[in-house]
C-alpha cells in the first residue's frame, strides 16, 4: 500500500508536476556533476588566438578531479593540414600543467589538444586552434630558394632534431645538420606549375618525402666538397615536403624550387 500525505492528495495537479520536474532536475544535476568530476581546460592561449611564428608557443592547462587525483596531462600540437607528427607529445605529471613548443612555428592553423588522465585511468580532453602568422619585424629568405644564409629558419619551416650549422654550407657557411637518430624538417608549398625541387646533401642519405610518400629522385650528381645535388619532379598543388635523415651529421642546403621548362 502506497502512503501519500493528505497535503499531497489535496495539492493541485500542476503543483505535483512542478515538484516532479524539480526532483528530476536535481537527479540529473547530481548525475552530471559525477560525470564531470575530471576537468581539463586550456587557459592559455585562448581559442582562435593569433601567434607569431618567431616566438615559442607556451600552453597552459588547468586540470582537476573532485573525486580523485589527476595523474598527468598530455599535450599535443600539430598543423591542421599536416598528418605527420610535428611536435612530440609531452606528458606533465605535476602542477603547473604547462609546456613550451619551440620556435619556429609552422604557418597556418595549429591544433592544440590537452588530455587529462586521473588515477582511475579516466580521461577528458580540451582542444583549441590558434593561427600562426608572419610578423613584420625582419625579412626571411624566399621560399623558392632556401640557403639558411642568415642563420635563421625560413618562414613556414619546422624542424625536429635538425640544427642550424654555421661552419658547413654548400654555397656559404650555413646549412642544417641532423642532430639525432631520426631528424625531420617540414615545409608547406603550393606548386602552381609543374616544377623541380633541387637541393644539396652531405654526410649520408637524406630522404625526401612529399605528402608522406618517399619521393624518387629525377637525377643526382656529385658536387663540390663532398656535396651531392638532388633533383625531384613535383606536380602542381599544395604539398608537404619532408626531409628525413637517419643518424647524426647529415647536412641539407640550398633548397630550390624551379618551374619545369
- Say what the pLDDT of residue 202 is: 96
DSSP secondary structure code for residue 156 in this structure: T
Rounded-to-integer distance, Cα 90 and Cα 80, Å: 18
Rounded-to-integer distance, Cα 159 and Cα 77, Å: 14
Residue 28 Cα to chain centre, angstroms: 38
- Say what the pLDDT of residue 138 is: 47
Rounded-to-integer distance, Cα 128 and Cα 37, Å: 21
Where on the phi/psi map is residue 203: left (φ > 0), alpha (ψ -120 to 50), or beta?
Answer: left
Strands 182-191 and 158-160: antiparallel
Residues of the chain with pLDDT under 50: 1-3, 28-34, 83, 136-139
- Say what the pLDDT of residue 237 is: 92
The number of residues in the chain equals 261
- Say what the pLDDT of residue 137 is: 44
- Which domains can be identified in the chain, with CATH numbers? 39-133 (2.60.40.10), 145-259 (2.60.120.260)
**Prediction pTM value:** 0.52
Q: pLDDT tens-digit profile of 116-134?
A: 999 999 999 999 999 887 6
Q: pLDDT tens-digit profile of 56-69?
A: 889 999 999 988 89
Q: How many CA atoms lie within 13 A of 111 on its CB side?
A: 15
Give the residue ranges of DSSP H helices in the chain.
6-10, 13-35
| C-alpha torsion sign, points 40, 46, 48, 54 | negative
Amino acid at each position: 500500500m502506497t502512503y501519500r500525505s493528505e497535503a499531497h492528495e489535496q495539492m493541485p495537479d500542476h503543483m505535483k508536476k512542478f515538484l516532479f520536474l524539480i526532483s528530476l532536475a536535481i537527479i540529473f544535476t547530481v548525475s552530471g556533476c559525477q560525470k564531470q568530476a575530471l576537468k581539463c581546460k586550456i587557459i592559455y592561449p585562448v581559442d582562435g588566438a593569433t601567434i607569431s611564428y618567431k616566438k615559442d608557443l607556451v600552453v597552459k592547462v588547468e586540470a582537476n578531479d573532485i573525486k580523485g587525483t589527476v595523474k598527468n596531462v598530455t599535450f599535443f600540437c600539430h598543423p591542421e593540414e599536416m598528418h605527420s607528427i610535428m611536435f612530440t607529445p609531452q606528458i606533465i605529471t605535476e602542477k603547473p600543467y604547462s609546456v613550451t613548443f619551440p620556435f619556429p612555428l609552422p604557418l597556418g592553423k595549429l591544433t592544440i589538444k590537452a588530455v587529462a588522465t586521473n588515477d582511475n585511468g579516466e580521461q577528458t580532453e580540451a582542444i583549441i586552434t590558434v593561427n600562426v602568422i608572419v610578423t613584420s619585424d625582419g625579412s626571411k629568405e624566399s621560399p623558392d630558394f632556401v640557403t639558411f644564409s642568415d642563420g635563421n629558419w625560413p618562414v613556414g619551416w619546422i624542424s625536429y632534431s635538425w640544427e642550424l650549422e654555421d661552419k658547413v654550407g654548400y654555397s656559404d657557411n650555413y646549412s642544417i645538420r641532423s642532430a639525432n637518430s631520426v631528424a625531420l624538417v617540414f615545409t608547406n608549398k603550393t606548386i602552381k606549375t609543374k616544377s623541380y625541387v633541387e637541393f644539396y646533401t652531405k654526410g649520408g642519405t637524406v630522404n625526401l618525402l612529399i605528402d608522406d610518400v618517399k619521393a624518387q629522385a629525377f637525377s643526382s650528381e656529385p658536387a663540390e666538397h663532398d656535396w651531392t645535388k638532388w633533383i625531384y619532379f613535383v606536380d602542381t598543388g599544395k604539398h608537404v615536403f619532408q626531409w628525413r635523415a637517419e643518424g647524426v651529421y647529415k647536412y641539407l642546403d640550398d633548397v630550390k624550387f624551379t618551374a619545369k621548362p
